[in-house]
Structure 1
Amino acid sequence: MSSMKNLNEIPFSVLDLAPVVVGGSASDSFKNTLDLAQHAEKWGFNRYWLAEHHNMSGIASSATSLVIGHVAGGTSKIRVGSGGIMLPNHAPLVIAEQFGTLESLYPGRIDLGLGRAPGTDQLTARALRRELRSNGEDFPEQLEELRSYLGVASEAETRHVRAIPGEGLNIPIWLLGSSGFSAQLAGKLGLPFAFASHFSPDQTLPALKLYRNSFQPSEVLDEPYATVCANVVAAETDKKAEYLATSMQQQFLNLIRNRPGKLNPPVENMDEVWSDYEKSAIHQQLGSSIVGSPIVVKEKLENFLHATQADEIMVNAQVFDHYDRLRSYEILSEIIKS
């Protein structure tokens, strides 16, 4: 692993939380998602991931594999995948079949990122699963079952239960995490690892260290491969970027207040919206966010890359106005190429 990487030497990717904005609908969200994906492909981003969240009026990607199909069908080169599928919510066979279908439709372009959190509250988790047998502790067993369904076709033929389509397909499996559990498991299994620095910044470096220290080479990877996700909001000026970023801050504020809702328009002054305690809590959770003009974003991204030594950076931009969101990613693509 080189000691210093430059921004133009690593891939950049997109995490799209498929935001539903105040005054907008899920239908609008999906149109914007496809438009952003088509632009991201044109601007040279490596992959485009969507996340499984449930019972959240501001996030439209609950049926994650369907939205992945929508994006993959409207693009031609960019990799499309899940960041992630929350495996405890599903029977591993169902996910093997869904992603086997996606990989069969869009060969060589599908990623399967897996998380062990429910991606929702306990009541909704119960509604999804009918019974709460799993709190994520059996994630390693679920993962092993899923990987067996996607395994070598000749071995699968002796099995009673088979994933068709699915078996024998080379679908990259990633483990996602916001703490150490999945970091260590990904390392032991020799799988690529993606860390949620965009909402768990304090755990970023410890988790990456744990992943790299526990890494054992596998048929998938010879050496560790870590993607780190960051919030990036770029605009022509620092002032405009900071203004646009208040939508993301309000989203986290609503989560702290246990009132999740649609993505709010930006505001001029967050101090009129949050308390000192809430401000402190949000700054801690969004501590790795990179917000500003091109010069500021480039400098902060370089610092972030040098600190994490990431092999790839994934970018989330929770921006209210679709044009401003596109522009943020366009500026980012210009920074990377410069």
Structure 2
Amino acid sequence: MIPFSILDLATITEGQSISNSLTMTRNMAIEAEALGYKRYWLAEHHGMRGVASSATSVLLSNIGAATNTIRLGAGGVMLPNHAPLVIAEQYGTLAELYPSRIDLGLGRAPGTDMQTAQALRRNSHSSVDHYPNDVRELQAYLSKKEQPVIAVPGQGTEVPLWLLGSSLYSAELAANFGLPYSFASHFAPDLLIQALEVYRETYRPSEQNPKPHTMAGIMVVLADTQPEADYLFTSVQQKFKQMRSGGNTPFPAPVDSMDGRWTPADKQMVDHVLTYALVGTKESVKDKLAKFIAMTKVDELIISIPIHDAGARSHCLKLIAELRDSL
């Protein structure tokens, strides 16, 4: 079976403090390691009251100190928000603290609203248009080759880079640069298969990555019964409905029913965004999961668990591991 990994947002849940949410993230990473997950990645977002993973490198260091073997990384760092040298130093430091355990996934979206994105910009020239050059600059800082500007820590660590995305652009760039590629199908299903095909067909081997390597994201909500899983899933349904209307609150508690809480248009939008979400019991989603892996032919799977309650989230993590081992 292909490796399973976890994508986390350090979710700030309704009724919980940010401090408690960060503790839950660390504890979940510890559990994921014990259950044999390959990677634990955190995604950079800003200005979102339900997400505490704005400073990914800081959180990863906290998790690294509490774990021993699981790979840790960004899924991803939104590179247009940062000077490549700063990211090289941050992740170079992580690589020295936790050798052979650090990944660096990169994205070109701001990970926030446009006003916050403007506040994040390092200078007036910072732009997604410079993204390919920024990736190359970052690669150079992490390489063993001497550079006019040296990343210390960073130089020589050769932290593995991934490109992340939900478009053909990201697939083509990853292929051109000879980098592993992860598609964000957990919230952007439309171009999944096409992007993976473009990536594989146009891949140019690199020294670090002689073969193409793919990953895809899915959301999974498992429980002991279907009604319980459906109940837990209403949290993320509410959240995506809220995002459609511009709301910004902590991750909502589940509700008994979504009836009356959304319009038919809202439901259609949320159902489409969550096309590949697996909701149910181990038995009810097993075939769907196997078909997704066969359809995408991915080398790895990265899983988001959008559950409000920490206990239910932990139980889901264990059920997914059992499901993985049964395939």
TM-score normalised by L of structure 1: 0.95
Q: State the 1:130 CA deviation.
A: 5.0
- Give the CA deviation at 1:113: 0.3
Amino acid at match of 2:197: K
What is the Cα deviation at residue 167 of structure 1? Answer: 0.5
Matched to 1:22, the amino acid is E
Which of residues 37, 40, 45 in structure 1 aligns to 2:37?
Answer: 45
Match of 2:210 among 201, 216, 222: 222
By how many angstroms is 1:180 displaced? 1.0
User: In the alignment, which residue of structure 1 is the partner of 2:236?
Assistant: 248
Q: Report the Cα offset of residue 191 of structure 1.
A: 0.6
Asked if 1:304 corresponds to 2:296, the answer is: no
Is this contact kept in 2: 1:233–1:328, CA < 8 A?
A: yes
Deviation at 1:131, TM superposition (A): 4.2
1:204-283 aligned within 5 A: 204-283=192-271
- Runs (4+) of structure 1 moved beyond 2 Å? 130-135
CA contact (8 A) 1:290 1:297 kept: yes
Counterpart Cα distance in 1 of 2:288 and 2:125:
43
1:6 aligns to what?
none
- Cα distance in structure 2, aligned partners of 1:130 and 1:113: 20
Choose which of 52, 68, 71 in structure 2 pairs with 1:76. 68
Give the letter aligned to residue 137 of structure 1: D
Shift in Å, 1:132: 4.5
Structure 1 residue 178, shift from structure 2 partner: 1.0
Maintained 8 Å contact 1:126/1:132: no
Render the CA deviation track for 1:214-256: whole Å, top value 9, x for unaligned: 1111112221110101000111111111110110111111110
1:198 pairs with 2:190: no
- Displacement of 1:260 in angstroms is 2.2
Pair 59,270 (structure 1): closer, same or farther in 2 beyond 3 Å: same
Q: Deviations over 1:60-111 (max 9, x none)?
A: 0101110011111110000000000000000000000000000000000000
Counterpart of 2:316, as a letter, is S
Question: How far has the Cα of 1:209 moved from its partner?
Answer: 0.9
Secondary structure in structure 1 of the residue aligned to 2:140: helix
How is 1:24-173 mapped onto 2 (pairs within 5 angstroms)?
Answer: 24-129=16-121, 131-152=123-144, 155-156=145-146, 159-173=147-161
CA contact (8 A) 2:9 2:42 kept: yes
Letter in 1 for 2:66: G
Identity percentage of aligned residues: 46
Alignment CA distance shift 1:56-1:41 (3 Å)? same
Kindly provide the amino acid, as one letter, of the partner of residue 52 in structure 1: E
Following the alignment from structure 1 to structure 2, what is the Cα–Cα distance between the partners of residues 270 and 148? 50
Alpha carbons 2:83, 2:122 under 8 Å: kept: no
134-143 or 164-173, which moves further after superposition?
Answer: 134-143
- Alignment partners' CA distance in 1, 2:129 and 2:221: 35
Runs of at least 5 residues in structure 1 that lack an aligned partner in the other structure? 1-8
Distance 1:66 1:163 in 2: 18
Q: Secondary structure at the match of 2:206?
A: coil
Q: Residue 70 of structure 1 aligns to a residue in which SS?
A: helix
The alpha-carbon deviation at position 189 of structure 1 amounts to 1.3
Of 306, 316, 321, which residue of structure 1 is paired with 2:304?
Answer: 316
Letter in 2 for 1:90: H
Give the count of matched residue pairs: 326
Per-residue CA deviation, residues 10-41 of structure 1 (Å, 9 max, x unaligned), is 10000011110111111011110011001100
SS at match of 1:314: strand
TM-score (norm 2): 0.98
The residue type equivalent to 2:276 in the other structure is S
1:125 and 1:132 in contact (8 A); partners too: no
| TM superposition shift of 1:271 | 1.9
Letter in 1 for 2:96: S
Larger CA deviation: 226-235 vs 264-273: 264-273
Shift of 1:135: 3.5
